[in-house]
Amino acid sequence: MDFGELPLPNSFVALDHQEPVKKYPLEVYYCEHCHLVQIKNLVAPEEIFNEDYKYFSSYSQDLLETSKNLCHKVIDKFHLNQESRVVEIASNDGYLLNFFKEAGLENILGVEPTLSTATKAIEKGIPTEICFFNDDTARRLAETEKADIIIANNVIAHVPDIQGFAKGLHTLIDDEGTVILEFQYVLDLIRERLFDLIYYEHFSYFSLESIGGLLRDNGLSLVHVEKTDSQGGSLRVYAKKTQNVTQVDPSVETILEEEKTYGLNRYQVYEDFARDVEGIKKDALKRLEEMKEDGVVMGAYGASCKGSVFLNYLGLKKDTLHYIIDKNINKQNMLLYGTDIPVYGPDKLKEHPVDRLLILSWNLKDEISGEYPDESFFVMMPYDLERL
């Protein structure tokens, strides 16, 4: 699928920005050999995950609650104690490891390449290595201590060298340890036509089959898998060193069978996806134009990556959506890159009210609408496919 050229999604510029927008081609491919879905034109990670990175996990109350639950689940499931070594890759501002710390586990370490978020984690007392994770990083860390648990939520999709990343997991995990990966599930993305989850930060889109193959290539084997609601549908997989696997939970085979039944190994499924996304673009523009003609004044909520993809792919401007509201102070009083739409804090809702607000961070729609009960919200994603 060819999205054309889009700007980097998690980027913001000054309100008076005049320079031409830097865009990159965004094309998505499917491999008939390993069944991985991946963007072809890779942007250097350093250009995306740098000292100006604006996404801070702790701004999402929903994510914090999910992380707290995961922390206690992992402690109970694996009988962790104060000696247990827990490493989180892409630890952001320490949102998850902070719960382990509060639970009394001090032998923790975050690995985070973005200075802006890592600094916040360190301020919270979370030991953090400011670097990208790969096998070289893993070897250096393993010289001090191997990990009993490695958690990597929503990160492996962001890594261009997935072989090096998986090899690093094998290097750093203890022989009896467990690796826990969570990632957006390509089956849900394809089935629900969630095209706004495809952007430059996400190099790869995994099925259970493709992640299983990657791990096997690097000495790890799946032992359990869970579905989660995160990011429109995700998988949380548990893996151990292959030589120490004695039992595999039936959940692994169950989900592999679901993928075969749906046809994730058939190219036609991906062609149908691309066709429908083009149809969504046309229909969404038509709906928004009809609302404008009816005199509806609209804004948006959530200056997220998915919001940026949606707005830039549809070519929406300030004449359709007057502004975007976001609680993240690092994004406020700036323009969402590629659009002329300004981002403001929630106070703007009272200063310059609008008739309706389009929720761009649709995975948080319940949290957002519950926080602002007097506002009229609507969502366009996941799209009503019956309209196509």
Task: Determine the straight-line distance between the first and last CA of the chain, rounded to whole angstroms.
Answer: 18
pLDDT band with cut points at 50, 70 and 90 for residue 61: confident
Separation CA 105–CA 305 (nearest Å):
33
Long-range contacts of 73-81 (CB under 8 A, 24+ apart): 74/149, 74/151, 74/180, 75/100, 75/103, 75/105, 78/148, 78/149, 78/178, 80/105, 80/148, 80/149, 81/105
* Confidence check: pLDDT of 53 > 70: no
Exposed (0-12), middle (13-18) or buried (19+): which is 44, by Cβ within 10 Å? exposed
Separation CA 182–CA 153 (nearest Å):
5
Give Rg (Cα) of the chain: 21
* Confidence check: pLDDT of 57 > 80: no
pLDDT band with cut points at 50, 70 and 90 for residue 48: low
Stretch 3-27: mean pLDDT: 86
Taking the CA atoms of residue 209, residue 214, residue 220 and residue 223 in that order, the dihedral angle to the nearest 10 degrees is: -20
Q: Which of 85-89, 115-119, 140-144, 307-311 has the lowest mean pLDDT?
A: 115-119
Nearest to 359 by CA among 382, 337, 339, 336: 382
* Confidence check: pLDDT of 55 > 90: no
DSSP symbol at 185: B
Stretch 41-49: mean pLDDT: 61
Residue 201 is predicted with a pLDDT of: 79
Stretch 39-52: mean pLDDT: 63
Instruction: Provide, rounded to the nearest whole percent, the portion of the chain with pLDDT above 70.
Output: 95
Residue 46 is predicted with a pLDDT of: 60
* Confidence check: pLDDT of 58 > 60: no
Separation CA 73–CA 264 (nearest Å):
31
309-322 confidence digits (pLDDT tens): 999 999 999 999 99
252-306 confidence digits (pLDDT tens): 999 999 999 999 999 999 999 999 999 999 999 999 999 999 999 999 999 998 9
Helix or strand run (H / E) with residue 221: strand 220-228
What per-residue string of b and e applies to 105-128 under the rule 16 or more CB within 10 Å gives b? bebbbbbbbbebbbebbbeeebbb
Q: Which of 34-38, 53-57, 309-313 has the lowest mean pLDDT?
A: 53-57
Exposed (0-12), middle (13-18) or buried (19+): which is 20, by Cβ within 10 Å? exposed
Angle at 284 between CA 283 and CA 290, to 5 degrees: 90
Sequence-distant (≥ 6) Cβ neighbours of residue 172 within 8 angstroms: 87, 138, 141, 142, 146, 147, 150
Taking the CA atoms of residue 236, residue 242, residue 247 and residue 251 in that order, the dihedral angle to the nearest 10 degrees is: 30
* Confidence check: pLDDT of 356 > 90: yes
pLDDT band with cut points at 50, 70 and 90 for residue 337: confident
* Confidence check: pLDDT of 42 > 80: no
Other beta carbons within 10 angstroms of residue 374's beta carbon come to 7
Averaged confidence pLDDT in the chain = 92
Angle between helices 305-314 and 267-293 (to 10 degrees): 80
Angle between helices 208-217 and 250-262 (to 10 degrees): 120
Separation CA 130–CA 111 (nearest Å):
6
pTM of the model: 0.87
Contact present, 64 and 230 (Cβ < 8 Å): no
Separation CA 283–CA 179 (nearest Å):
42
pLDDT band with cut points at 50, 70 and 90 for residue 29: very high
Sequence-distant (≥ 6) Cβ neighbours of residue 88 within 8 angstroms: 96, 97, 108, 109, 110, 111, 150, 151, 152, 153
Contact present, 203 and 160 (Cβ < 8 Å): yes
230-247 confidence digits (pLDDT tens): 878 999 999 999 999 999
Residue 122 is predicted with a pLDDT of: 94
Report DSSP letters for 326-367, one per residue. Answer: -S-TTTTTEEETTSS-EEE-TTHHHHS--SEEEESSGGGHHH
* Confidence check: pLDDT of 172 > 70: yes
